[in-house]
Amino acid sequence: MKLNVILSSSRGVTQTDWLKSFHSFNFNNYYSPRRDGFGSLVVLNEDFVAAHKGFGMHGHADMEIVTVVLSGALSHTDSTGGKGEVKFGEVQAMSAGTGVRHSEMNAGDDEVHLFQIWIMPATSGIKPSYRQKKFDMTELDLEEGKFVELAGGKSGLAIHQDACVMFGRFDLEVIFIDVAVGRGKYVHVISGSLLIGDLRLGAGDAVELNEGVLVDTQGCELLVIDVKI
Please report, for the chain, the start and end positions of each structural domain, with discontinuous segments joined by +: 11-134, 143-228
CB neighbour burial string for 192-206, b if at least 16 within 10 angstroms, e if fewer:
bebebeeeebeebbb
Give 138: exposed, middle or buried? Use CB within 10 Å, 0-12, 13-18, 19+. Answer: exposed
Same fold, 11-134 and 143-228: yes
Measure the CA–CA gap between 206 and 96, rounded to whole angstroms. Answer: 27
- Indicate the class that CATH gives domain 11-134: mainly beta
Q: What does the pLDDT read at residue 2?
A: 76
Q: List the strands of the sheet with 4-6, edge to edge.
A: 4-6, 206-209, 183-191, 220-228, 164-170, 148-152
Nearest CA to 165 out of 97, 68, 73 is that of: 68
pTM score: 0.95
Q: What does the pLDDT read at residue 140?
A: 52
Q: What does the pLDDT read at residue 142?
A: 47
- Indicate the class that CATH gives domain 143-228: mainly beta
Measure the CA–CA gap between 105 and 111, rounded to whole angstroms. Answer: 11
Residues of the chain under the 70 pLDDT cut:
137-145
